[in-house]
Amino acid sequence: MPGTESLIPHILVIRFSSLGDVILAEPVFRALKRRFPDSSITFLTRSAYADLHRSNAEVDDIWGFDPDTRSLSSLIRMVREAGFDTIIDLHGSLRSRLITLVGESVTRRYRQQRLRRILLVLRPPLKRSRPLTPVIDRYLETADCTEPSEAEGTPAVHLTEEQINRGLKVRRDLMAGREGRLIVLLPGARHAPKEWPRFHFGELAALLKLGGNTPIVVAPPDQPEIGPELTDGEDHPPLLGPMPDIMQLAALLAVADGVVTNDSGPMHLAAALGVPTVGLFGPTSPELGFSPRGESTSHIHLGLPCSPCSKHGQRVCWRRERHCLLDISPRQVIDELERCISGSEGPAI
């Protein structure tokens, strides 16, 4: 941030949504605090995500914004009155742009790499497979905090002791009369084309159980009845949820021994909590810059020539079948999970 060091003490970082992006923004706080130890950092996000970084020692203040209960004009007034020296806009939406127009703040804005992304999701042979820069690195670049250490470039979510204890209690209840490792399966995603087939999740649960583990399915927010879809027989894995809020999901994931998830916000949450996590990518791909980071984190992506075919996995498959996900076998997922778990803390599944 050439020439702005003296203006730095009061910094506003903006990223309203979505869950994954809010988590991936975390390395920016650490990098800013390393570079400007005396600065005060305020994070502005959607109210639903405000608690995610509440226990982060690098963030001095968190503002939650809910457009249903607060007007944009009052938020803009609040930002103006706070008199930030620098605003780091990691969102680049119309709303965040309007906020940065007020006052005397120096603004740094996230660049979306739209053209590269459009070329990347075209159908072959038009597709251009030049991967996007990982989102975390683009966030750090926006804040002019390049060359982070490996640990600094890996997002983290911290929980309070109370939240961890709550998670441990849920774990004790879930594991009563059961044994082995607690493996959380997250079969939901914002867009259905991104979901690994439910019957695969069912088979994975059966294999995990055969191996002496305890698989638990957490239902997506809008699908409380998902359980029976995960089996072709009478026995389906225990079902939990949907979780009433994001921190309760975080508390459960934090005490799990492993997580298998579609490419989704909860995938980034599990990875940021340091839990061995396998993310499954199909119509989206790590080339779009959203692969999870972390020592015990991995992903499976078959790399079909047609993938990625949309930015967020929102488009319906233009081929007959979603082979990008269909062809990922439960056995393959178990092997990847085993690698993650053994790499993190000892005996594998």
Binding mask 173-212 for ligand SF4 (x = CB under 6 A): --------------------x-------------------
Shortest Å distance, C-beta 204 to ligand SF4: 19
Sign, Cα dihedral of 141, 145, 148, 152: negative
**Total number of residues that touch ligand SF4 (CB under 6 A):** 13
Q: For residue 176, count other CB atoms closer than 10 A to its CB.
A: 7
Q: How many CA atoms lie within 13 A of 142 on its CB side?
A: 29
Q: What is the DSSP letter of 275?
A: -
CA distance 105 to 330: 51
Query: Is residue 319 a contact point for ligand SF4 (CB under 6 A)?
Result: yes
Among residues 184 and 328, whose Cβ is nearest to ligand SF4? 328
317 sits near ligand SF4 (criterion: CB under 6 A): yes
Q: Which of 176, 318, 345, 346 binds ligand SF4 (CB under 6 A)?
A: 318
Q: Evaluate whether 198 touches 204 at the Cβ level (below 8 Å).
A: no
Q: Is the peptide bond before 283 cis (omega within 30 degrees of 0)?
A: no
- CA distance linking residue 112 with residue 116, whole number of Å: 9
Q: Which residue in the set 134, 266, 283, 330 belongs to the binding site for ligand SF4 (CB under 6 A)?
A: 283
**Judged by CB, which is closer to ligand SF4: 166, or 194?**
194
Report, in Å, the least distance between residue 322 CB and ligand SF4: 4
Q: Is 306 in the site for ligand SF4 (CB under 6 A)?
A: yes
Per CB under 6 A, 159 contacts ligand SF4:
no
Q: Report residue 67 as tokens.
A: 């457009």
Specify the residue, 82 or 122, whose C-beta has the smaller distance to ligand SF4.
122
Contact between 22 and 156 (Cβ < 8 Å): no
Q: Which residues lie near ligand SF4 (CB under 6 A)? A: 193, 282-283, 304, 306-307, 309, 317-319, 322-324
